[in-house]
Structure 1
Amino acid sequence: MSRRAFIGLAAAAALTVTSAVPVVAQEVSAPFPSARFPLGERGIPAKTQKSVTSGIDLYTVSTGTAKDGYTVTVLMPSGRDYGMRETAEAKAAEVEAAGQTASVQKVIRPAAADDPAEEIYMVRVGLWPFKDKAKAEEAAKALTDAGVKARADYLGDDGLKTTGPWEMQVLTIDPRGFRGSYAASLGVSVGKRETTSSMAKAQNAIAAVNGGFFNIHTSPALRGEPLGISVVRGRMLSEAVPGRSALVLKGRTARVTELKSTVVAVSQDGNRLDVNGVNRLPVADELVLYTEEYGVKTPADGGAEAVLDATGKVTALRQAGGAVPAGSRVLHGSGTAGEWLWEHAWENWNVNIDTKVIDERTGRRVVLTPDVSIIGGGVGLVRNGRIRVTAKRDGHDSVNMILRRHPRTLAGVTRSGGLILATVDGRKPGITVGANMIEAAQLMKWLGAVQAINLDGGGSTAMVVGGKVVNKPSDGGERAVGDALLILP
């Protein structure tokens, strides 16, 4: 059964435009799009405007109407809510045997620039208006009690056709009026997670949004570790995933590109060994570099470590597992990499760490000066003014990431060099549905971005202005995250 048969369509609802707050005459302001909203019934959104400071404006945007209801989704043997046709038909038969009527729904997961569309199938039971969520939950429980695992689902979360609604916060920074700078922050350490507002407060930021994805599948003490490149004030604190999208910040300029990084340890005797990672747990036979920002002791895994001072001089060669002294770095080797350290990193020798970040669009090196920060993104959205969602290359080509709607944090650069930061709240049925990956790209193009990237989202999505969270995080409160993008005075 098609989604259209599930929810139907209704006439567009009229929307009222709230008049904008006037901007002080001497302050330069980036224009907000006058075009119709690109999603749903494409009305003119209601918006309010607030001048934050010269060159920075905050817009609160709302549009759409809640017309989606609830259904019951039957879970496949894998635990997912979708599968191949044969699996779905077998599940539908189980539902029928339990005395319920099932529909097998074909769904097309949209194509990305680097990944073809995917045909999947879902098994759905019933349809209830929004006000009757409890009835959908009762039906799901009845099926589960009969041995068929199921759950009540809000249709607005599917990622298919919807009328919304949407609630967004949009921050526009125009370099003609803004005289501050952009920076990244990992907070007090690489491993520790902090809220966006706490990182903003620590540096007296004008505004901030949460940054890239972080590793929730590592040691609990390290779950703020970025999943991809992180550079803070010219210091690489996490290596790049080759070819993955990132946001490069320098002074008050920003650009979106794809990056790769190399780190090589070069001993005084001329012997070289690739450094496999920065500030993360090693696997067998890896050489990992730890900086003082790591925040915890290095792993005691039986390997070897060379402690380097600021000049690269080896001040200690030790067994693995210790603190990173202030002003120092530690080369940690496991297995064969540890043997290399015992042979080529003697005390009082010099070991040079050659770090390079390469812009894959230009082939040029990104020079890591103190005014440079880099935040790794999840998916590229817009390139050269065209929607180009690079979900597979960026590691997020699942149905959940491309098709499903979630809260989103988005960053884009305009043709004139301005920066756009947007949060799309979601997971609030009847209030705001969020966006899928294709919709996120459409939103950033509508806002005027010619280059755009998706940052971490879901419960991590947060925008802070003047020390206050101005969006409504889906967890009900602000989540601690790995890093943040700061707008500094």
Structure 2
Amino acid sequence: MAHGDPLFLGITGPKGYTVFSPGPLQTVANGVTYQAFAQGYASDQWQITLRLTNGDTLTQDRDTTAADSAADARARLSKVIPADRIEIVTLTAPATVGSSPLPGGPVAYAVRIKGFDSAAAAHTALDTQVVPAGLAGKVLYTAQDGAPSTGPWNIRVISIAPDSPYALKAVHGADLRTPETLRDQVRLSGALLGVNASEAVPIDQAPNSVYLTPEDGRYTGIPEGVVMEGGNLLSTANDGRSALVLGHGAPVADSARIAEISTAVSVSAGGSSHPVTGIDRVPGYVYGCGMPGLRSADPYRNPGAAWRNAPCTTTDDLVAFRPEWGDSTPPAADPSLPVREVVMDGNWTVTDAHTWLGTAIPAGGRVLQAVGQKAVQWLTDHAPKGATLQPSASVTDQNGASVTAGSPDMLVGGGPALMRDGRIYINARENGILTDAYTASNTLAERMPRTMVGIAKDGTVHLVTVDGRNPDSSVGVTMSEAAAVMQWVGDTDALELGNGGDTAMIIKDTLYNTPMNDWGSAPKTGYERKLTNALVLAPR
């Protein structure tokens, strides 16, 4: 990694601005270093984005929804805000480069009031002019949109040498159903450092989930997509999404790779088998889709394919629960469906069976929950008390090869990939980051905090965070800019992990970055969002 080189955008600024400033290279431990980099300067502006006639702040309908909303705003605000300060803004996403490229172009339209020199001025106008006129909106900084920006950016890089005596591993908190801060997860695992890992099911969307604070409940919950820890599959894949593959306790150079993962799990008894369609999640509810037989409220989506952050449901589900989930199983997402639950010991021998959900998970044992007629009937016929079931699971990559055939037994779901074989490679389609029209999504263009993991040609692994949503220190990066960062770091393969307010980096019990949930809010010293899981570095 060329520490003195200009960073990924090659920004040149007015005289007096510090365009590129590398921090000191710090040795964290044997074979582990940390360095921060600052680049760019603030030049974007604060605006108010208005709530449109469709009830949202974005629309794909420029000619009617956006145009009518802009005309209505100009009429209502004509006495206090000049008409030329109210405009329709086009949000554009770049085309993607992957195995199934997506076309770029306009993805959404917004109506904005421009021309504020500070967040405070925009908030004052919102409260004293916009709201009294019968309109609603929120304050936004234009760097968020993904148009060319001068920053600033704050990038933090942990480098793990191939011969480091430490191993990367996936961990969670005390149990899977209860998110915890990164600091607490690093402490609990006895690790040296860590970053946030998988994206999560927002608790305010998932049925029957553990309640957190209102601030965190909007963002976090159980993992979205595949998770494996120590050879134990704790969450099944949203079919074909990208993940980091690791070997438990192995040198990172020997096992780290990035692949698109599929899982297939089943149980059998008496010559009959049935698919286990989920592990450690609320039965009947699949966040992120990507499984046969699912339903989506959106008629444009194929729920059998992965759709990032999209809820899908099913009326026929068989879900396995391990002790890692927590002390007891949850109720079903749809209480109108027939249900059955069987409790098993460590040999998968049924010790109890009943027609209700919500029972203690025995230490070392499993619980199977069935919702829907087919799954319930199979358990009734083939899993009575005393029966022994035979579990089966396969985890394969995009080539159909087994992921667990060799040493790897850690999986951390993320996506999209950012680099593959030394080139920019953003496989948005495989990771469900697309619009209903199957074009590149605004998620690719929006600047936000992001966490990435990359692998260099010599086996060095980099954990990278970019802070965001703070005009004074770091605005965040688009997906393309995130890939450019990892290319600059020197990686040949890279993956995005969680993003937004999830982005966090802990080294030796110290929070190194500044997590931000929203634009325009003051940074909270020491704030950490509760996370579904973490990627940590611990002694082998």
The one of 91, 105, 112 equivalent to 1:124 is 112
* 1:248 corresponding residue in structure 2: 245
- Residue number in structure 2 paired with 1:262: 264
Change (3 A) 1:189 1:455: same
Alpha carbons 1:248, 1:256 under 8 Å: kept: yes
The answer to whether 1:452 aligns with 2:494 is yes
Match of 2:512, as an amino acid?
V
Match in the other structure for 2:290: none
Q: How does 1:396-411 map to 2 (within 5 A)?
A: 396-397=433-434, 399-411=441-453
Structure 2: stretches of 5+ with no match in the other structure:
13-18, 212-219, 285-314, 333-337, 436-440, 518-523
The answer as to 2:210 corresponding to 1:221 is: yes
| Structure 2 residue 75 is matched with structure 1 residue 97 | yes
* CA-CA distance at 1:44 after TM superposition: 4.0
Q: After superposition, give the CA deviation of every residue in 1:207-241 in whole Å (9 maximum; x if it has no partner).
A: 10011111112133186311100101110010011
Question: Take 1:274 and 1:188, find their aligned partners in 2: how far apart are those partners?
Answer: 28
* Aligned AA (1:378): G
- 2:380 maps to a residue whose letter is W
8 Å CA contact retained: 1:307, 1:316: yes
1:175 alignment counterpart: 162
Alpha carbons of structure 1 residues 231 and 339: separation in structure 2 relative to 1, 3 Å: same
> Which range moved further: 91-100 or 426-435?
91-100
Are 2:341 and 1:305 aligned?
yes
What is the correspondence of 1:273-292 to structure 2 with a 5 Å cutoff?
Answer: 273-283=274-284, 284-292=315-323
Deviations, residues 399-432 of structure 1 (Å, cap 9, x unaligned): 5521111111111111112211011111112221
Compared CA separation, residues 291 and 36, structure 1 to 2 (3 A): same
Task: Please point out which of 382, 385, 394 is paired with 1:347.
Answer: 385
Distance 2:91 2:379 in 1: 54
Report SS of the residue matched to 2:25: strand
Task: Note if contact 1:82-1:123 (Cα within 8 Å) is conserved in structure 2.
Answer: no
State the 1:370 CA deviation. Answer: 8.4
Structure 1 SS opposite 2:146: coil
Aligned to 1:138: 124
| Residue 472 (structure 1) shift | 1.3
Alignment partners' CA distance in 1, 2:89 and 2:342? 59
Matched-pair contact (CA < 8 Å) for 2:22–2:35: no
Asked if the contact 1:184/1:375 (under 8 Å) is kept, the reply is yes
Take 2:366 and 2:119, find their aligned partners in 1: how far apart are those partners?
56
Going from structure 1 to structure 2, the CA distance change for 1:369 and 1:348 (only over 3 Å counts) comes to farther
Partner of 1:211: 197
| Offset of residue 82 of structure 1 | 4.6
1:386 maps to which of 404, 410, 423: 423
1:371 and 1:125 map into 2 onto residues whose CA distance is 52
Report the secondary structure of 1:394's partner residue: coil
Q: Distance in 1 between matches of 2:41 and 2:504?
A: 23
How many Å apart are 1:77 and its aligned residue? Answer: 2.3
**Residue 189 (1) aligns with residue 170 (2):** no
Q: State the Cα distance separating 1:375 from its structure 2 match.
A: 0.5
For 2:37, the equivalent position in structure 1 comes to 61
TM-score (norm 2): 0.80
Report which stretch shifted further, 74-83 or 406-415. Answer: 74-83
| Cross-structure match for 2:143 | 156
Q: CA deviation at 1:315?
A: 2.5
For 1:220 and 1:351, how far apart are their aligned partners in 2? 28
Q: Which residue of 2 aligns with 1:13?
A: none
Unaligned residue ranges in structure 1 (runs of 5+): 1-30
Worse overlay, 386-395 or 155-164 = 386-395
> What is the aligned-residue RMSD (CA, Å)?
2.1
Of 231, 236, 258, the residue aligned with 1:234 is 231
Q: For residues 23-53 of structure 1, what are the alpha-carbon distances to aligned partners after superposition, in whole Å with 9 as ceiling and x for unaligned? A: xxxxxxxx44543211261654422210011
Q: Mapping of 1:295-334 within 5 angstroms?
A: 295-300=326-331, 303-321=339-357, 322-334=359-371
TM-score, with structure 1 as normaliser: 0.88
The reply to whether residue 46 of structure 1 matches residue 22 of structure 2 is yes
Contact (CA 8 Å) 2:40, 2:153: kept in 1 or not?
yes
Shift of 1:296: 4.0
1:297 shift after superposition: 2.0
Identity percentage of aligned residues = 31
| Mapped contact 1:75–1:82 kept (Cα < 8 A) | no
1:414 to 440, 456, 461: 456
Deviation, structure 1 residue 203: 1.9
User: Which consecutive segments of 4 or more residues in structure 1 shift more than 4 A?
Assistant: 368-371
1:106 paired with 2:97, answer no
Deviations 1:182-228 (A, max 9, x none): 11112111101011111111122111001111111213318631110
Where 1:144 maps in the other structure, the secondary structure is helix
Q: CA, structure 1 residues 297+37, in 2 after alignment: closer, same or farther (shift >3 Å)?
A: same
Deviation of the 1:342 alpha carbon: 1.3
Mapped to 2, the partners of 1:187 and 1:258 lie a distance apart of 25
CA spacing shift, 1:300–1:225, aligned 2, 3 Å? closer
1:238 and 1:139 map into 2 onto residues whose CA distance is: 46
